[in-house]
Structure 1
Amino acid sequence: MSRILVIYYSSYGHIETMANAVAEGARSVAGSEVEIRRVAELVPDDVAEQSGYKRDQQAAVLDDPNALVDYDAIIIGTPTRYGNMTSQMRNFWDKTGGVWAQGKLVGKVGSAFTSTASQHGGQETTLTSIHTMLFHLGMVVVGVPYSCAALTELGEVSGGTPYGATTLAGGDGSRQPSDNELTIARFQGEHVAKLTAKLAG
């Protein structure tokens, strides 16, 4: 049995939807126990409400970074802010100093997915910056190989990179993850789960 954590932050629900698809893919692998959690919101309630943030997300908040050691794989989902992860996600990982100092995540699997407003809005820089963090924590970084045929879809505008699944929210945030993007997200979850099973075994 391998334990997989999908931990995400989502302002408007795009990454929440992707997180559910990633978890679905991971759960398709026998022997995988998958949990979805989110990081705490830092925006004041009144500001979040005025901004139209999605407040009814089902995943429970994970506050304690020490809980990360209980998982064999950690898949991180976050929107992009200027080509990097959100402050909410960064705030969580900035509290992992003790976990890092004790080497408690060394050898575990790490992966990431993201969303941007535009097609070239910093998806790959966000993912590779998360990968850099995962390397510092000693994790085994996993992306999306080109055996995922959906990566080469040219008939529509679509997210999806070899560094991780992505989606495009559109300038006003109205675009939801497409079938192709969700296919890539599920593939990523399954791929991570398969590799985790081998390493954990």
Structure 2
Amino acid sequence: MKISILYFSKTGHTKEMANVIADGIRKVPNIEVGVFALDSIDDNFLLDSKAVIFGTPTYYANTCWQIKKWFDESNKYNLEGKIGAVFSTAHYAQGGADTAILTIINHLMVKGMLVYSGGSALGKPFIHLGAVAIDENFEESKSMFSIFGERIALKAKELFN
């Protein structure tokens, strides 16, 4: 089974967290993960994936324009029925990461994806809308991001095996 992580990263923080999520996914046997910047997506891998995780930096309390553009122009990708999840990075707690995540969740729903985060049902760490890393706790957030990836992989296996 395949899972794709698509992200945009200007400073490298979002890319770094995409790789941490991938490490968490790799804890689950028989899952292949592809980590792709928006400008280097393997179309076949993405289309074969049962889950797609989107990562965005937070700009002006919202997602970056590159992610928005990708969704606007992504009509060649049928994502219907796949698990969709979101993560964000931000410089500070009041930077609007939740708004950025919700913006992408709207796009996932329009694409017909099954939105998943783990929520509070799985206990700590509680990841309600999606994983968020801010500058002041960036390193400490890595364990949560790894768990986020593992939870998505486990849910994909539950639903699609």
Q: For residues 35 and 67 of structure 1, do their structure 2 counterparts lie closer, same or farther at Cα, with a shift above 3 Å needed?
A: closer
Mapping for residues 25-40 of structure 1, pairs under 5 Å: 25-40=24-39
For 1:163, the aligned partner's letter is: L
Report the count of equivalent residues.
Answer: 160
CA distance in 2: counterparts of 1:22 and 1:197, whole angstroms: 16
CA RMSD of aligned residues (A): 1.8
Q: What's the offset of the Cα at 1:135?
A: 0.5
**Pair 1:177-2:155 in alignment:** no
Match of 2:20 in 1: 21
Could you tell me which of 48, 58, 64 is aligned with 1:86? 64
Aligned residues of 1:14 and 1:176 also touching (Cα < 8 A): no
Q: What's the offset of the Cα at 1:67?
A: 5.7
**Pair 1:110-2:71 in alignment:** no
CA distance in 1: counterparts of 2:152 and 2:95, whole angstroms: 25
For 1:193, the aligned partner's letter is: A
CA distance in 2: counterparts of 1:116 and 1:191, whole angstroms: 22
Match of 1:44 in 2: none
CA distance in 2: counterparts of 1:75 and 1:15, whole angstroms: 12
CA distance in 2: counterparts of 1:62 and 1:140, whole angstroms: 21
CA distance in 1: counterparts of 2:68 and 2:119, whole angstroms: 26
Structure 1 gaps of 5+ residues are 41-60, 152-160, 170-174
CA distance in 1: counterparts of 2:119 and 2:71, whole angstroms: 26
For 1:116, the aligned partner's letter is: A
Aligned residues of 1:6 and 1:75 also touching (Cα < 8 A): yes
For 2:130, the aligned partner's letter is: G
Q: For residues 129 and 98 of structure 1, do their structure 2 counterparts lie closer, same or farther at Cα, with a shift above 3 Å needed?
A: same
Structure 2 gaps of 5+ residues are none
Mapping for residues 2-151 of structure 1, pairs under 5 Å: 2-40=1-39, 61-62=40-41, 68-99=46-77, 104-146=78-120, 147-151=122-126
Normalization by structure 2: what TM-score?
0.90
Of the two, which has the highest radius of gyration? 1
Match of 2:129 in 1: 163
Q: For residues 24 and 67 of structure 1, do their structure 2 counterparts lie closer, same or farther at Cα, with a shift above 3 Å needed?
A: closer
CA distance in 2: counterparts of 1:132 and 1:89, whole angstroms: 13
Moved over 6 A (4+): none
Aligned residues of 2:34 and 2:45 also touching (Cα < 8 A): no
Aligned residues of 1:39 and 1:63 also touching (Cα < 8 A): no
Aligned residues of 2:90 and 2:97 also touching (Cα < 8 A): yes
Q: What's the offset of the Cα at 1:144?
A: 3.6
Normalization by structure 1: what TM-score?
0.73
CA distance in 2: counterparts of 1:87 and 1:145, whole angstroms: 27
